[in-house]
Chain A
Amino acid sequence: DTGVSQNPRHKITKRGQNVTFRCDPISEHNRLYWYRQTLGQGPEFLTYFQNEAQLEKSRLLSDRFSAERPKGSFSTLEIQRTEQGDSAMYLCASSLMGAEYGYTFGSGTRLTVV
């Protein structure tokens, strides 16, 4: 098991384009999370899946953002009509146990919108 894998590591896109990121969690983890981190800030919660069900979404997740986790395995996060304010590090994490054990984060996808 190589941990949480995120692809691509970096993405540069023009404003208005759509982008999609992929996250492969640790295989036995049934919970998957997306967070976003901008410069000088801590990670901010975007959305949470338990198996294939998307159970929570942040107000930060505008209608241009959509996340899926088909079959409860990997997940994708799509951003439509990207804006410069979407430039950030997008972090995926997974967990199996309770809150006190924290999450295992991936290395993130850095998005730059030009």
Chain B
Amino acid sequence: DQQVKQNSPSLSVQEGRISILNCDYTNSMFDYFLWYKKYPAEGPTFLISISSIKDKNEDGRFTVFLNKSAKHLSLHIVPSQPGDSAVYFCAASGRTGNQFYFGTGTSLTVIP
């Protein structure tokens, strides 16, 4: 069973506009939610995280929002840049972080 879901396989956005990537989860016991970015032929790279006690976390152009009641999180990238074109994975874990559950990824294309 897929505990973390990313229902949009792909997203295209114009350079300079906002990119919004969505993620849903089913397990209310998850404590940490992370976003990873992956380029072809490379491993995933950690981007930003949020814990279940917060509803928002910002890091430069990247903001993650968490809605616990809806079991939904989103990643906002503003402004989007061509170098942001990659596959973005949402992941969730319990408190220990010993095992992360990943979504299937969203391929973001930022059009110059």
Contacts and interface: CB of A to CB of B under 8 A. Distances in A.
Interface string B84-112: 00000101011111111111110000000
Contacts of B16: none
Nearest to A46: B99
Interface string B31-46: 1101010000111111
Contacts of A95: 97
Given A41-B104, A42-B4, A43-B89, A101 B99 contact: no
A42 B9 CA distance: 12
Residue in A43, A45, A91, A108 whose Cβ sees the most chain B Cβ within 10 Å: A43
A106 interface: yes
B89 A48 contact: no
A111 interface: no
Given A4-B43, A102-B49, A42 B32 contact: no
Given A42-B91, A108-B43, A99 B31 contact: yes
A103 interface: yes
Contacts of B42: 107
Contacts of B95: 99
Contacts of A104: 46
Nearest to B39: A107
- The 9 A-B pairs at the shortest CB distance, nearest first, are namely A99-B97, A42-B102, A105-B43, A102-B46, A99-B32, A45-B99, A100-B49, A102-B34, A43-B102
13 contacts: A31-B98, A43-B102, A45-B100, A91-B43, A93-B43, A99-B34, A100-B97, A102-B49, A105-B36, A105-B44, A105-B45, A107-B41, A108-B43
